[in-house]
């Protein structure tokens, strides 16, 4: 309830030494401002990392061919081999923990010249063989049309999906590319979908043209061979164990010495992901600690000031007690002042913090390679911060208030 | 109204113990106008502070309004001070950031009287003190005499049974002193017990009874040409 008398008491006391009140308020304000800004920026970092990782499956591993380093079964060392489509089937059947497996095959880029033509338009794009399973591991978003399906793979269809940059360069703005044809490396492909990569991993960029990997193998005379594939473990399964099992089966199928680890290159992506997540968890934690520390400093400032204020007003409080102010009222009044000061200053810190975070968001929005993406202040965080402020406001007032009523009225009256 | 029996009070500062009140026996009846005199350091203020529940005594029995005052909570003491007692100090002790009216009304705030009602009452009391025009002035815009009259109004507003005044004229010139004393006498006439600490003889002689303190004891009690003081007990001169 709004009590004019209480209000007057509060403002009168704080107005008495305006400069000091303002400086103290600024302490709290900056505390909360720094806390909120740091958390907002931390969120922005996290968003940025998450968006560059996109929806890339975190529990994944990548395998690629190397030369053998050990002679085995009468075969020489330094031998070259390639993965085959049959390997995919064998791995899927042999390893229950395996969720998805997808070959990653690149087509030719035009080098210095162009590899894609349509009427007068030409461009040089990134060409990749893909599969529905690849889209589970390193997904793209379908904007219109559809993604490549199993039938496209089976029937070696000459169909493609194109990224935003391809659409932009090869079509007019108001043109619908679906159903149109592009000449890629001398062959006409029908466009079945417009897509947008959800991560930058494994060459998924805006200038991508995807076609069924079987079609790519056929047109480029790769047979059923490829050099690289991605695999994911089922939820809860260890990627490291999956890697061991894949290695074992591949080694057997390609007559590679069971201990020739270097013959099959592989890389546990899950490990890197965990490192990154760990990193931004600790960054987030650090930001909390710093922000909280600054906030506490502000609150200690308030407590100090309340201490001085109460000391200065010893006589006044003595007079009030002499004419009938009860201790509870005196304590309440001091706490009111301190809570008012902290929440008022804290509120403006919060508002300023939100504005700053917004501005940072605006400033980084257009930049092509932002370090911070969509920073924002969690409303819960804001409320927690405000709650913490009120709590510390009470605490900051409580100690000096206790001191104020501990001395006898007569001593308070005598105080000069 | 007030009964003291063998009251002792010592102050302890560091390792030193200063025995200030050394057995005070005193009885003050309802409606009396009493002054306490004595040289500086004789314990006048100490005694008045104990009477006013601003300090506590170490030993002896203090009965206020038929209630024995023993170690009580500050909350209880604050309530008793508010209801029963009114204070007037030498240095006025007004709240500097409140105007005259708000200062007078303050004790009623602690009784949770509504703002409107207590301000109205405060204006009435200020009017009685001849300070109606000064109601909205801040204390630093008032003369010493005016400040003391505001303080008297503040002491009066709760209709206390006892007014305790520690050298109320100490900071005033003789003319204003007499004015304030007349005021206190008038208050006394309305039936309120008034106890004044002073070391001015003229002031003391305006009261019914003079209690002379010396070195923490009552040296003598002088009755000032009053007939109907049968109730007051003559305490034999000590030492
Ligand atoms: N809080 C205190 N702590 C220590 N000593 C005190 C305290 N209050 C008073 N005294 C001492 O007690 C003695 C009596 O003090 P008191 O104030 O009662 O004297 P007084 O009679 O009112 O003198 P004055 O006429 O100067 O006001 C003095 O020696 C004083 O120094
Ligand atoms: Mg004194």
Q: What are A339-363's pLDDT values in tens digits? A: 888 888 888 988 998 898 888 888 8
Who has greater pLDDT, A272 or A142? A142
pLDDT at A58 over 90: no
Residue B239 lies inside a defined structural domain of this protein: no
> Which of A322, A328, A403, A405 is the best residue to mutate to test the B interface, defined by the most B CB atoms within 10 Å of its own CB?
A322
pLDDT at A110 over 80: no
pLDDT at A399 over 80: yes
Identify the pLDDT of residue B232.
46
Q: What is the mean pLDDT of chain A?
A: 86
Query: Are A320 and B81 an interchain contact pair (Cβ–Cβ within 8 Å)?
Result: no
Query: Are A322 and B107 an interchain contact pair (Cβ–Cβ within 8 Å)?
Result: no
* Residue of chain A with shortest Cα separation from B76: A326
Who has greater pLDDT, A44 or A256? A256
Mutate to test the pocket of ligand 1, among B41, B55, B204 (most ligand atoms within 8 A of CB): B41
Q: End-to-end CA distance of chain B, in Å?
A: 27
What residue spans define the domains of chain A? 4-54+274-414, 82-253
User: Confidence band (pLDDT; 50, 70, 90) for A370?
Assistant: low
Query: Are B54 and A12 an interchain contact pair (Cβ–Cβ within 8 Å)?
Result: no
Residue B234 lies inside a defined structural domain of this protein: no
- Give the structural domain span for B140: 2-223
Residue B218 pairs in a beta bridge with B213
Average confidence (pLDDT) over A100-113: 83
Identify the pLDDT of residue A37.
86
Kindly state if the Cβ of B145 falls inside 6 Å of ligand 1: no
Query: Are B75 and A328 an interchain contact pair (Cβ–Cβ within 8 Å)?
Result: yes
Residue B230 lies inside a defined structural domain of this protein: no
User: Confidence band (pLDDT; 50, 70, 90) for B216?
Assistant: very high
CA of B154 to the centre of ligand 1 (A): 26
pLDDT at A250 over 60: yes
Average confidence (pLDDT) over B55-59: 93
Residues with CB under 5 A from ligand 2 (ion): B 45
- pLDDT tens, residue by residue, A153-183: 999 999 999 999 999 889 998 889 999 999 9
User: Confidence band (pLDDT; 50, 70, 90) for B238?
Assistant: very low
- pLDDT tens, residue by residue, A208-227: 999 999 999 998 888 999 99
CATH of the domain at B213: 3.40.50.300
pLDDT at A416 over 80: no
CA distance A337 to A354: 26
Cβ partners under 8 Å of residue B215, min gap 6:
B22, B42, B43
Who has greater pLDDT, A299 or A79? A79
- pLDDT tens, residue by residue, A256-270: 999 998 999 998 888
Identify the pLDDT of residue B225.
64
User: Confidence band (pLDDT; 50, 70, 90) for B107?
Assistant: very high
Who has greater pLDDT, A57 or A78? A78
Residue B9 lies inside a defined structural domain of this protein: yes
Residues of A in contact with B87 (CB under 8 A): 322-323
The answer to ipTM > 0.95 is no
- pLDDT tens, residue by residue, A3-36: 777 777 777 777 777 888 888 888 888 888 888 8
User: Confidence band (pLDDT; 50, 70, 90) for B231?
Assistant: very low
pTM for the full predicted model: 0.69
Q: Give the whole-number percent of chain A exceeding pLDDT 90.
A: 35
Work out how many domains chain B is built from and give that number. 1
- pLDDT tens, residue by residue, A235-244: 888 888 999 9
Counting from 1 in the atom list of ligand 1, the atom nearest the Cα of B213 is 21
Mutate to test the pocket of ligand 1, among B19, B44, B90 (most ligand atoms within 8 A of CB): B44
Residue B16 lies inside a defined structural domain of this protein: yes
């Amino acid at each position: 309830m709004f009590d004019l008398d209480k209000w007057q008491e509060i403002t009168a006391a704080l107005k008495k030494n305006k400069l000091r009140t303002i400086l103290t308020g600024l302490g709290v304000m900056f505390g909360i401002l720094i806390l909120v800004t740091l958390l907002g920026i931390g969120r922005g970092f996290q968003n940025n990392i998450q968006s560059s990782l996109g929806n890339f499956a975190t529990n994944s591993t990548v395998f690629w061919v190397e030369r053998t380093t050990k002679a085995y079964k009468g075969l020489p060392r330094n031998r070259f081999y390639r993965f085959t489509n049959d390997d995919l089937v064998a791995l899927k059947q042999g390893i229950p923990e395996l969720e998805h497996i997808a070959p990653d095959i690149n087509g030719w880029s035009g080098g210095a010249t162009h590899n894609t033509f349509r009427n007068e338009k030409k461009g040089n794009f990134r060409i990749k063989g893909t599969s529905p399973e690849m889209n589970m591991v390193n997904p793209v978003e379908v904007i219109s049309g559809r993604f490549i399906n199993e039938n496209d793979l089976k029937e070696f269809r000459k169909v493609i999906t194109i990224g935003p940059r391809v659409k932009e360069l090869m079509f007019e703005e108001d043109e619908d590319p679906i159903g149109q044809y592009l000449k890629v490396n001398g062959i006409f492909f029908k466009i079945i979908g417009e897509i947008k990569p959800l991560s930058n991993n494994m060459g998924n960029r805006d200038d991508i043209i995807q076609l069924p990997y079987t079609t790519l193998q056929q047109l480029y005379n790769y047979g059923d061979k490829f050099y690289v594939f991605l695999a994911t473990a089922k939820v809860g399964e260890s990627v490291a164990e999956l890697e061991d099992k894949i290695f074992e089966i591949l080694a057997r199928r390609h007559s590679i010495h069971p201990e020739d680890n270097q013959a099959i290159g592989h890389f546990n992506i899950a490990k890197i992901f965990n490192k990154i997540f760990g990193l931004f968890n600790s960054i987030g934690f650090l930001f909390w600690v710093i922000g909280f520390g600054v906030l506490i400093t502000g609150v200690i400032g308030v407590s100090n000031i309340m201490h001085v204020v109460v000391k200065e007003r010893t006589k006044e409080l003595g007079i009030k007690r002499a004419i009938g102010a009860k201790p509870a009222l005196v304590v309440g009044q001091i706490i009111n002042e301190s809570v008012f000061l902290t929440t008022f200053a804290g509120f403006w810190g919060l508002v300023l913090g939100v504005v700053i975070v917004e501005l940072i968001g605006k400033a980084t929005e257009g930049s092509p390679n932002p370090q911070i993406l969509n920073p924002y202040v969690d409303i819960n965080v804001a409320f927690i911060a405000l709650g913490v402020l009120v709590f510390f406001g009470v605490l900051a007032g409580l100690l000096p208030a206790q001191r104020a009523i501990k001395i006898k009225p007569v001593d308070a009256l005598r105080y000069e | 109204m007030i009964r003291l029996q063998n009251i002792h009070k010592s102050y302890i500062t560091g390792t030193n113990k200063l025995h200030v009140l050394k057995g005070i026996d005193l009885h003050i009846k309802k409606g009396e106008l009493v002054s306490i005199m004595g040289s500086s350091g004789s314990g006048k203020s100490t005694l008045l502070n104990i009477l006013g529940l601003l300090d506590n005594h170490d030993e002896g029995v203090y009965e206020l309004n038929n209630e024995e005052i023993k170690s009580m909570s500050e909350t209880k003491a604050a309530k008793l001070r508010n209801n029963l007692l009114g204070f007037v100090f030498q240095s006025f002790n007004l709240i500097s950031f409140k105007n005259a009216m708000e200062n007078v009304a303050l004790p009623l705030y602690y009784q949770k009287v509504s703002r409107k009602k207590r301000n109205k009452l405060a204006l009435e009391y200020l009017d009685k003190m001849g300070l109606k025009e000064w109601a909205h002035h801040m204390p630093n815009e008032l003369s010493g005499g005016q400040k003391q009259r505001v303080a008297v109004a503040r002491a009066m507003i709760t209709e206390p049974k006892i007014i305790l005044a520690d050298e109320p004229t100490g900071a005033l010139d003789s003319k204003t002193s007499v004015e304030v004393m007349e005021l206190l006498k008038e208050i006394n006439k309305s039936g309120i017990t008034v106890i004044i600490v002073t070391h001015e003889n003229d002031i003391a002689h305006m009261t019914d009874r003079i209690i002379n303190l010396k070195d923490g004891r009552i040296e003598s009690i002088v009755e000032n040409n009053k007939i109907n003081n049968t109730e007051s007990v003559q305490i034999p001169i000590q030492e």
